[in-house]
Amino acid sequence: MRKVALIVLLLGCVAPLALSLGYGLMYSLGLIGLQSEGFTLSFWAQLLSGEFARSIIYSAYVAGASTVLALGAALALLFSCRLHLRRALPYRLLFLPLTVPPLVAAFVVFQLLSGGGVLARAAWHFGLISDTQAFPELVHDPYGVGIIIAHGFLVFPFFLLVLLNIWDNEQLDELGRVAASLGVAKHRVFARIHLPLLMRGIFPLLALYVIFFMGAYDIPLVLGQSSPRMISVLVLEKLQRFNLADIPVAYAMASWYALLCIATIALLFTRFKRRYSL
C-alpha cells in the first residue's frame, strides 16, 4: 500500500510539476521549441539583463509590503478591539472579505482609488482637486500601492482570525496574567509574552503568504504598472507576445521562479518541521 500511496502522490502532484518544470527548463536551454538551435545559455543570460531581476525584486517588495500591511492591520485590530471581536456579529463580519475573489477586489480597488474613481470624485466635490490628473497615483503606480491595499484587504481579516485562534489555543490571557504575577509590567506583557507567541504561531502562514503574494497574478494584472511587472504577469506577457524569441526567455523566467519557490518551501519545511509540527 505504501507503493500505491507514493505512486498516486507522484502521479497527481509531483509528475505534472516535474514534467512542466522539465519542459520549461529544456525550452529555456534551447533544447526544444520552435526556434531551437541546440543547447544555449543565452536565454538564461538574458535573465541577468535586468527585467527578470527587477521583476523578482519588485514582486518580493510587493509581497513583503502586503504581508507587513496585512499583519500590522491584524495585530493593531487584535490589540485594540479584541474583546469587541469576540461578539457574534463583528466576528462574522471578519469573514466578509473572504467572499471576494482577488480579481473582483482588484476591480473594486480600481473603482475606488483610480484617478476617476470614487475617492477622486469625493476629492473633487470637496474642492481638493480640479481634475483627474491632480489625484495622487494609487493604481498603476510605481510603488504598487493599489496592489498592496488589495492584498491587505483580502488577507488581513484571515490573519486576524488566525491570531484570535492562536490567542485562545496558546492561552495568552492566562500567560499574560502569569507574567504579570511574576513582576512583568503590564505594558511590557505585550512585547515580552503576547507578540513573540503570536509571531511564533503565525510565522509559517506568513512565509506561505509571502510566496503566494510573490506569485500573485489577478490583482497586479488589473492594478500594476507596466514596468517593472510582477513575475507572473511578466511571464505571461512575454509568452503571449508575438516575438518568438521572447518565448524561451519566458520559460526561463517561469522555471527559475518555480525553482525559487520549491527551494524556499523545501527550506522552510525542513527548517521548521519540528518546531511547527508541519
Partner 1 sequence: MRWQRLLFSIVAICFVIPLAVLAYLSLSANWYFPALWSHSFTLEHWHWLLRDGSPLTFSLLLSVGLSLSVSVAATALGFFVSRLLAYHTTSTYWLLGAYFPYVIAPVVFAVMLNVYLLRLGLTGTLGGVMLAQLLITFPYAILFFYGFWNERIRNLEHLVRTLGGNFRTVVTQAILPSARGLIAVCFFQTYLISWFEYGLTQFIGVGKVPTLTIMVFRYISEANPHLAALAGLLLILPPLGLLVVNRRFLLHKAWSI
According to the binding rule CB under 8 A, does residue 79 interact with partner 1?
no
Taking only Cα atoms into account, the Rg of the chain, rounded to an integer number of angstroms, comes to 23
What single DSSP character describes residue 182? T
Helices (H), 42-194: 42-47, 51-85, 88-93, 102-113, 118-125, 145-169, 172-181, 186-189
Footprint of partner 1 on residues 1-20 (CB under 8 A)?
1-2, 4-6, 8-10, 12-14, 16-17, 19-20
Piece in contact with partner 1 (CB under 8 A), picked from 41-49, 98-106, 138-146, 186-194 = 98-106
According to the binding rule CB under 8 A, does residue 41 interact with partner 1?
no
Piece in contact with partner 1 (CB under 8 A), picked from 38-46, 177-185, 187-195, 229-237 = 229-237
According to the binding rule CB under 8 A, does residue 29 interact with partner 1?
no
Cell of 268: 522552510
Cell 518555480 identifies what position? 258
Q: Which helix (H) or strand (E) holds 76?
A: helix 51-85
Cell of 100: 471576494
> Minimum Å distance from CB 178 to partner 1?
25
> Minimum Å distance from CB 251 to partner 1?
7
Under 8 Å between Cβ of 244 and 238: no
Footprint of partner 1 on residues 101-160 (CB under 8 A)?
101-105, 107-108, 110-112, 116, 118, 120-122, 124-125, 132, 151, 153-155, 157-158
Q: How far is CA 183 from CA 167, 171, 193, 262, in A?
A: 21, 19, 13, 46
Q: How far does CA 250 lie from the centroid of its chain? A: 21
According to the binding rule CB under 8 A, does residue 196 interact with partner 1?
no
According to the binding rule CB under 8 A, does residue 214 interact with partner 1?
yes
Of 45, 72, 95, 178, the one binding partner 1 by CB under 8 A: 95
